[in-house]
Amino acid sequence: MIGRAAHTSMARGPAILFVESHASDRVLSTLLLQREWPGAAITIAADPLAFADAVAAGTADVAVIAADVRWAKVGDLIAAVKRRSARTAVVLFGDEADIAAHALNPGLACEGVIRRSSAGFLALAAVLREVTERSGRAAGQPEPAAADLPPLRAERPDQEMRDVALVVSHDLREPVQQIVRLARRVGEGDAGRADAVLPQVLECAEHAGRALDRLIEYLTVTGRPVTPAPVDLNGCLNEAIEHLRGAIDQSGAEIRAVSLPDALGDADQIVHLFQNLLSNAIKFRGSERPVVTINVERRGDQWLLAFRDNGIGIPPASAERIFELGKRLHTRDEYPGAGVGLALCRRIVERHGGRIWGEPRDGGGSTFYVLLPRAPADVARLA
């Protein structure tokens, strides 16, 4: 809505102010937030008048402000929000360069930062939830009692896959448009020799290819139904190790595992589960060569597998966030990746009726626990 704040009536969820000049980003962000909180109040400020109206209302629990707003300085926008309502949390949203340009400004009182990328869009709702819950700003949402919390994340496969497709297609738009612009420059003779433009074209194509790979990986694994059958976990582990042979040899990683029982599930998906857990341990290794120890014990009608590593560990406060699709705790320069691996692990485990969680280890490293259903034949053999 031009010139006025577009407002959605609130039933549940935080009141969100979104300050963004790019129409496509506004549409995508609103879709994702409304799917997470169908009744949330979402106010879109695309111009100065709409922003003034929203700030005057002073009802936002959290304000998401784009770092490249064209009609105002980001610092002035944040200051205006804070002056009107000090309780409103502020999250800065933008490209790497835009965020870096504001990062050293002491006047930016931000509670969070989200990068404008497929991973950032997928993490948007999770970051806003964390910010509002941490600060106690979510209006009308009392802290839930532990007994009221569901033991497992709600199953939303169709919605989740639509969200992945939305953000990846959005992420593809920029490199594809850049390739088209470069090709036109070459055709018009404005870019000089074609080989001067070729590296830029290749970089854009690789960006687009990585976005497609993320989409294909996620949808291939989670889009296929689980067909329960007895699964040899030793065989699944050996296959996962062979898939990672190059990374294991390059890092000098050592995988130590006890003899594993049979579980009930889908062998291909469990191979992918093991492969992502091992890959995660190798990627986030410390100064020593990675060592992963795998143990198992019986828990009623389930097997509890423990993957212990000697890597950099996980902050206790982030033990749940690392399983959010697209969520990253480190920059791509530090550790490459799309923030998909552990989200895939959780989807696989929960689709098997199990559960997965991670904990930091004393002295460094992490332990990832996985609950999988036992195969009936194992009851007598391993009782």
Per-residue pLDDT of the chain (383 residues; tens, 9 = 90+): 333 344 433 346 789 999 998 887 888 888 888 878 887 889 999 888 888 888 888 889 999 999 888 888 888 888 888 888 888 888 988 876 777 666 555 556 678 888 887 767 877 888 888 888 776 644 444 444 434 433 434 344 555 656 666 556 666 666 676 777 777 766 666 555 666 666 777 777 766 666 666 566 666 666 666 677 899 999 999 999 998 888 899 889 999 999 999 999 888 889 989 998 998 888 877 778 999 999 999 998 899 999 999 887 776 665 676 776 655 444 444 444 445 678 888 888 888 889 989 888 777 788 899 999 998 754 333 33
Architecture of domain 16-142: 3-Layer(aba) Sandwich (3.40)
| Number of C-beta neighbours around residue 377 at 10 A | 12
- Confidence at residue 151, expressed as pLDDT on a 0 to 100 scale: 40
Strand duo 291-299 + 302-309: pairing = antiparallel
Strand duo 42-45 + 254-257: pairing = unpaired
- Confidence at residue 272, expressed as pLDDT on a 0 to 100 scale: 87
Tokens coding 5: 């704040």
Q: Which residues contact 146 (CB under 8 A, 6 or more apart)?
A: none
3-state SS class at 272: helix
pTM here is: 0.49
| Number of C-beta neighbours around residue 247 at 10 A | 14
Find the farthest-apart pair of alpha carbons in the chain and give their distance in angstroms, rounded.
76
What spatial distance separates the first Cα and last Cα of the chain, rounded to whole Å?
65
Tokens coding 7: 């407002």
Are the CB atoms for 335 and 283 separated by under 8 Å?
yes
Architecture of domain 229-381: 2-Layer Sandwich (3.30)
Beta bridge partners of 369: 306, 357
Q: How many CA atoms lie within 13 A of 161 on its CB side?
A: 13
Give me the amino acid identity at 27: V
